[in-house]
Amino acid sequence: MKREIGGGPPVAELENIHLSFGGLQALQDVSVAVKPRERLAIIGPNGAGKSSLFNIISGIYTPSSGTIRHKGGARPARMKPYEVARLGIARTFQNIALFSGMTALDNIMTGRNSLMRRGVLGEALQLPWARRQEIEHRRRAEEIIDFLEIPSVRRTPVGELPYGMQKRVELGRALAAEPELLLLDEPMAGMNLEEKEDMCRFVLDVNEIHGTTLILVEHDMGVVMDISDRVAVFDYGRKIADAPPDDVRRDQAVIDAYLGTAHEH
């Protein structure tokens, strides 16, 4: 199966983005774009602005200046995160942000909420449309559960799941929204080798089978070099490199800033 990268405008494009908190410059003049079906990795030391970038794309932060484009069209300067999500952008969080009181299944079902119809009375009375909607979306959620190989924990409250499983459920919740662009914030952090392999397989499958564009922040260099088409390197809020993995590996600025120094993780 051949994967075609590109074709059409970038799924997400950030242009000259600045972001500051108080006096602190979190991002300075950052421009980055991701093409359809591309796998873009973002690396950099802690505090380099990787998560800030995600928060800007997903609408949690508003940049001080700069433009964000979605499939070629400029996004309004202020967009609520839920409006961004409805553009087909889903994400996971660095520190798992699951709905801890709910089961794995309900978490994943919640991922589909934005695709569902809201009608208070209809849901209260379980009118045919409400019942049908629950069942149809349950089926889709179950496909994700099957895909992520977590049927045995379907009914477990996620708070009781081990860390690796929680990461999987969180990915499931993001996938449930059927996103075009998936932002993964350190999907492999804290996992053992086997869990990482599984996660890599899932992530690659999502990208290759469904054509989902990926941006991932990850510290595990092996994973990054293996699975990404392109690597953007951040340091002190600036992008210092943006190239295919092999080129990045040879880039002197990157080596100085990041790869060369011992990075504890």
Contact set for another protein, span 114-173 (CB under 8 A): 114, 116-118, 120, 123-126, 130-131, 133-135, 138-139, 142-143, 145-147, 151-152, 154, 173
In the bound state with another protein, the residue whose beta carbon lies nearer, of 3 and 250, is 3
Angle between helical axes of 163-176 and 128-147 (0-180°, round to 10): 130
Give the interface segment with another protein, choosing from 29-37, 41-49, 64-72, 103-111 (CB under 8 A).
Answer: 103-111
* 43 vs 104 by CB, closer to another protein: 104
Least separation, in Å, of the C-beta of 204 and another protein?
9
Q: Check binding of 102 to another protein (CB under 8 A).
A: yes
Closer Cβ to another protein, 16 or 152, answer by number = 152
Question: DSSP per residue over the chain, as a string?
Answer: -PPPP--SS-SEEEEEEEEEETTEEEEEEEEEEE-TT-EEEEE-STTSSHHHHHHHHTTSS--SEEEEEETTEEPPSS--HHHHHTTTEEE--SS----TTSBHHHHHHHHTGGGS---HHHHHTT-HHHHHHHHHHHHHHHHHHHHTT-GGGTTSBGGGS-HHHHHHHHHHHHHHT--SEEEEESTTTT--HHHHHHHHHHHHHHHHHH--EEEEE---HHHHHHH-SEEEEEETTEEEEEE-HHHHHH-HHHIIIIISS----
User: Residues 189-208: x/- map of binding to another protein (CB under 8 A)?
Assistant: ------------x---x--x
**Which residue number, 101 or 260, has a Cβ lying nearer to another protein?**
101
Q: What are the φ and ψ backbone dihedral angles of 31, each rounded to 5 degrees?
A: -125, 130
Using CB under 8 A, which of the segments 34-42, 62-70, 105-113, 238-246 binds another protein? 105-113
Write down the least CB distance from residue 241 to another protein, Å. Answer: 25
Q: Count the residues of the shown chain that bind another protein, applying the rule CB under 8 A.
A: 59
Interface residues with another protein (CB under 8 A)?
A: 1, 21, 51, 55, 58-60, 80-82, 84-86, 90-91, 93, 97-102, 105-106, 109-111, 113-114, 116-118, 120, 123-126, 130-131, 133-135, 138-139, 142-143, 145-147, 151-152, 154, 173-174, 177, 201, 205, 208-209
